[in-house]
Copies of this chain bind each other. A is one copy, B any other.
């Protein structure tokens, strides 16, 4: 019963989109739309520009689009760069039980492949659903030890999702899909130490490219272990302690992890979101003037300080990993978007002054999507707000309209309003599209 790699492969081979509940299909459309928005929105950032200028020299013939840009690359490098773009704004989707950002890895792999091999929108969406399922279940098998140990789960477990999805689209049989997952297993990489540097973004792209390569290698009979995930020296035992392999197989094909998917309203570490929610609520409902704030006290889950405890951020990446900066930004700007993580904003004297007034108390009793905000004003008034579930959490999901707003915000500046609208419509009706590469055509710049 530890033959989990073959069980996953068999599930992928046999799966049919028509067997899926409508809810799963709709959530997958949301994930797709949201992912493309993130990739386009991130496409002009320095991580992307530097990686792209590095790899362009090594690209094979242009097969696939770099989203949000004019360049075209071979599909492996397109997957790499689009993965980096997806992650760079820290705006991707999150499987809340494991903190993996699955679609940022799987999306780049399947869309690049759809530009090489004619692929229906239905097949693309189905591959995305299956990749999401595999990446999330492998994550569940090793979380939380894996993450605590220092692994960036989007890199390490994401690669399985890309391999599974690409393997489905390439029509691999069970044996070759088993190998593809094994080839993915032995490329699994990514350290949390890299948070705050461009390498964090690299993990997503690296996993997308490597998962795609794994499927191509397996297709050509490049062999791997028959149980790269579950064997005693396979992924789960080496990168988990102890792994819970039942998470991979229990209810497989009956329940769908993508139904748990969450999306971020704010472009920063997801554990900061309840704090931002609470700060924005206090500012709006009490018309708080940030100049009059004496101190801001946060009561948060321990992970908030562990992951986002940077007191003096300088770069955008560091700002997005600072709960202190994010709280201050919410009060100063009344919104928390890309603008509030630009280095100029982070370094502005107002922001620095207010950031110094923010303190965080950790409390084991507070969940990760919960927070309590207390502020004291110059006149001695104190205000409190308790956020039970952050916007974008499973309990308070973003609506389809919120998703469209987010897509617009990310894409319109780069693709024009009209093109963004077409892209949005193509995502919603993706299962009716004969050739899914239209999504890439709409999301690139001419």
Query: Chain A 185-197, CB within 8 Å of chain B: the 1/0 string?
Result: 1111111111011
A191 CA to B238 CA, complexed, in Å? 8
A183 at the interface (CB under 8 A from B): yes
Do the beta carbons of A233 and B150 come within 8 Å of each other? yes
A345 at the interface (CB under 8 A from B): no
A237 CA to B148 CA, complexed, in Å? 12
Do the beta carbons of A186 and B155 come within 8 Å of each other? yes
- What is the chain B residue whose CB lies nearest that of A56? B60
A54 at the interface (CB under 8 A from B): yes
Residues in B with CB closer than 8 Å to A276 are: none
The answer to whether residues A190 and B194 also contact, given A199-B223, A217-B50 and a CB cut-off of 8 A, is no
A405 at the interface (CB under 8 A from B): no
Do the beta carbons of B233 and A51 come within 8 Å of each other? no
Give chain A's interface secondary structure class: helix
A404 CA to B124 CA, complexed, in Å? 54
Do the beta carbons of A75 and B50 come within 8 Å of each other? no
A56 CA to B410 CA, complexed, in Å? 36
Contact pick for A193, options B57, B74, B216, B225, CB 8 Å: B225
- What is the chain B residue whose CB lies nearest that of A216? B54
Q: How far is the CB of A312 from chain B (nearest CB, A)?
A: 16
Do the beta carbons of B222 and A50 come within 8 Å of each other? yes
A149 at the interface (CB under 8 A from B): yes
The answer to whether residues A238 and B151 also contact, given A182-B199, A191-B185, A203-B186 and a CB cut-off of 8 A, is yes
A47 at the interface (CB under 8 A from B): yes
A75 CA to B59 CA, complexed, in Å? 11
The answer to whether residues A57 and B54 also contact, given A188-B189, A199-B224, A225-B193 and a CB cut-off of 8 A, is no
- What is the chain B residue whose CB lies nearest that of A219? B54
Q: How far is the CB of A223 from chain B (nearest CB, A)?
A: 5
A150 CA to B197 CA, complexed, in Å? 28
Do the beta carbons of B216 and A199 come within 8 Å of each other? no
A53 at the interface (CB under 8 A from B): yes
A54 CA to B225 CA, complexed, in Å? 19
A234 at the interface (CB under 8 A from B): yes
A235 at the interface (CB under 8 A from B): yes
The answer to whether residues A191 and B233 also contact, given A60-B58, A183-B202 and a CB cut-off of 8 A, is yes
Residues in B with CB closer than 8 Å to A363 are: none
A29 at the interface (CB under 8 A from B): no
A150 CA to B57 CA, complexed, in Å? 36
A55 CA to B220 CA, complexed, in Å? 10
A265 at the interface (CB under 8 A from B): no
Query: Chain A 39-52, CB within 8 Å of chain B: the 1/0 string?
Result: 00000001100110
A221 at the interface (CB under 8 A from B): yes
Residues in B with CB closer than 8 Å to A13 are: none
Do the beta carbons of B217 and A51 come within 8 Å of each other? yes
The answer to whether residues A206 and B223 also contact, given A60-B58, A193-B234 and a CB cut-off of 8 A, is no
| Other A-B pairs beyond A50-B221, A58-B77, 11, CB < 8 Å | A54-B217, A57-B74, A60-B60, A182-B197, A186-B199, A188-B189, A191-B234, A191-B235, A193-B238, A198-B224, A199-B224
A and B contact pairs by CB, cutoff 8 A, 27 listed = A47-B222, A54-B213, A54-B217, A54-B222, A57-B60, A58-B74, A58-B76, A59-B60, A150-B233, A152-B186, A182-B193, A182-B199, A186-B189, A187-B189, A189-B189, A191-B225, A191-B228, A191-B233, A192-B233, A193-B225, A193-B227, A193-B231, A194-B225, A197-B225, A198-B222, A198-B223, A199-B222
Pick the 6 closest A-B CB pairs, nearest first. Answer: A150-B233, A193-B233, A150-B238, A189-B189, A58-B60, A58-B74
